[in-house]
Chains A and B, each alone.
Chain A
Amino acid sequence: MSVLVCDNISGFSRKSEYVRNFSYNFLENKIYAITGRNNAGQKNLLDLISGRIPTSEGVVYLDGYKLINGINITNRICYIDRDADFPSHLRIVEVFKLMATVYPEWDTFYAYELLTYFEIKHRTMVGKLSPSQKSILIGILNLASRADITILNMPLEDADIKDRYDFFKFLYDHHDKYPRTFIINTSFIDEIDYLVDNLIILDRGKLIVRLKISETKQSFRYLTGKTEVLKSLITGVKVIGVEERGKMLTVCIRQKLSKDEIRKYQKYLIKISDVPIQNIVIYLITLREIKGSLL
C-alpha cells in the first residue's frame, strides 16, 4: 500500500511562499498530473511531497507515517528531477548499478530495453549526453525504479515529440503491468490525457482545481456557432472561456449537457465538441487571474 497524504502543507522561504495550504490525497496505483503556469510552484510541491525538502507548515504522510524523519522512504519514493546532477565522468551503466543498490525493485533488464529503444549506448558518460538524451535517461531511471510512488518533473521536456510519445506509451504499459502511483508535473497534458486519472491545477502555489480526467469530457464542452445565435442561447450557462473569430463564437462551458440541451443546440446549428484539457487549464487559470485583478 502506498497512500501519500498532504495535510495542509505550505512551503515558504524568506523571500516567498511557494506552496500554500495544499491538501490532497494521492491514492494507490493512480496516475496524477500536476500542471499550471511556470511559476506556480509545481516543482516546489514535488520537493515537499517527496520529502526532499521539509514543509514549513503541515505534514506529509506516507501510509500514515510522517514522511520526514519517519519510516525509511528511500526505496518507496523515486523522484529523479530533470535537473539531476550527476558527475560527468559517471557512465550510464554505473548509474544503473547505483539505482540497483537503492531501489530493491529496480528493473535492469527493462532499463536496458528502453536504452536500446531510444538508441542510447549504456557505456556513454552522463556528461556526454545531449539534453534530449539526458531527459530520456532520467525518464528511464524513474520508470525502471519501480518504486511505489514515482514522481516525474517535466519528463522528457527536452526530447522530441516522438520520443515523448513513445516514453509515455512505455509508462502506460509499465503501469499496466506493475501498478503503482505516478505523479507527473507536465505542460504537455494533452499528450498524456489517456494515462492520467486525476489532474491538479496549481496557481501561485495554491491548488485551484482538481479534476478527474474521465469526467472532464462530460463536464467541459465547446459550443461553436454564429455569435448572435450562440450569445442568445448561453444566458445562465457557466462559461469559462470565450474565443471569437470573425462571425463565429466558441465558448467553453462547464456543465454536463442533458439530451434536451444537446437537441436544443443542434436545432440552432451549434456545434458541440470536446475541449482539449490544455485549453481547460488555460481558461481556468485565466478566469482566476481575472477574478484576482477584480478583487
Chain B
Amino acid sequence: MRKMKIHFYGFRYYYSAFVLLLIIAAALSLTVLDVYLDYLLPSLFIIFILSSILLGLYEYNRIRYLHTSLVINRKSFYKSSLALGMINAILLLGLFIGYSFLAQRFKGIEIAFINNYLFYLTFLSLNYFGYVIGNTYALLFIRKRFINLLVIVALIALFIFFELTIPIIIDFTDQIINSDVPKIIFIDAGLIILTIVLIIINNFIFKVKP
C-alpha cells in the first residue's frame, strides 16, 4: 500500500469528484426521474466504462509524471497501475450492484443479472480493458494532435454514417448486462487476451519512454 501512495495523492480529487457526481446523479435518478427508467442501468454501465477509460488516461497522462518526477524506478508505478485498474473495476462493480438494488427498490426495475456470473466477468473485463486502453492512448497518442482529431472524426463518422444512435447503444448495452449477446463468453475471453497484450505493450513502452 505504501507504493500506491503516489496514486492515492494523485487520484484523490479525481475520484472524489467522480463519486460525488455519481451520488448526485443517482439521487436525482431515483427520486425525480420517472421516464426512461429502462435506460438507467445501461447508461450507468456506459458511464462506468467511460470513466475507466478516463481514469486510465488521467493516470498515464498525469500521475505518471508525478511518479517519474519523484521516483526513478518505474516498476513500482507499473505494478500499482495494474492493481489500481483491478481495484477500480471491482469498486465500480460494487457501485453498479448497489445502484441496481436501489433502482429495484425505489423504481421497481428488474435486475436479472445478479446471479449470472457472465455479467460479472463481462463487467470486470470491459472496465479493465477500458482502463488499459486509456493507459495505452495516454502513452502513445495523447500528445499527437492529428490522432486526437482522427479519433473525434471517427466517432462522428460512427454516429452519422453508421447511424449509431443512443437507443441502439443502450439496447446493445442492455443485452450485454443480461448476457444476451451471442457467444459473450468468447467476447470476454477475447477482451481479456487483448487486455493482457496491451498491458505487455504498455510495459515495454513505459520502460523505454523518457
Query: Chain A interface (Cβ within 8 Å of chain B)?
Result: 47, 50-54, 72-74, 77, 79-81, 84-87, 89-90, 94-95, 97-99, 101-102, 141
Contacts and interface: CB of A to CB of B under 8 A. Distances in A.
A91 B8 CA distance: 14
20 contacts: A50-B72, A51-B73, A52-B210, A54-B207, A73-B72, A74-B76, A77-B72, A79-B72, A85-B66, A86-B69, A87-B10, A90-B9, A94-B9, A95-B70, A98-B6, A101-B2, A101-B3, A101-B5, A102-B70, A141-B70
B13 A89 contact: yes
Contact of A74 (B13, B69, B71, B208): B71
B70 A98 contact: yes
Nearest to A47: B210
B2 A90 contact: no
Nearest to B68: A52
What is the interface residue range for chain B against chain A? 20 to 34
A116 B69 CA distance: 23
Contact of A98 (B9, B62, B65, B207): B9
A63 to B, nearest CB: 15
A51 B66 CA distance: 17
A85 B65 contact: yes
Interface string B179-210: 00000000000000000000000000001101
Contacts, number: 54
Given A72-B73, A77-B72, A54 B208 contact: yes
The 6 closest A-B pairs by CB, nearest first: A85-B65, A84-B69, A74-B73, A101-B5, A53-B210, A101-B2
B4 to A, nearest CB: 10
A51 to B, nearest CB: 5
The B interface, classified by DSSP as helix, strand, loop or mixed, is: helix
Nearest to A145: B70
Interface in B14-65: 62-63, 65
A51 B71 CA distance: 11
Contacts of B63: 87
A95 B69 CA distance: 11
- The CB with the most chain B CB atoms within 10 A, among A50, A87, A95, is that of A87
B90 to A, nearest CB: 24
Contacts of A87: 10, 62-63, 66
A94 B208 CA distance: 29
Contacts of A95: 70
By CB atoms of chain A within 10 A, which of B5, B6, B62, B71 has the most? B71
A98 B66 CA distance: 10
A131 to B, nearest CB: 16
A54 B10 CA distance: 26
Nearest to B5: A101
Given A51-B72, A90-B66, 5 more contacts: A53-B208, A53-B210, A77-B72, A84-B70, A97-B5
Contacts of A94: 9
Contact of A52 (B2, B5, B66, B72): B72
Contacts of A54: 207-208
A73 B66 contact: no
B144 to A, nearest CB: 16
Given A53-B208, A54-B208, A87-B62, A81 B69 contact: yes
Nearest to A126: B66
A141 B70 CA distance: 9
Contacts of B71: 74, 102
A191 B210 CA distance: 31
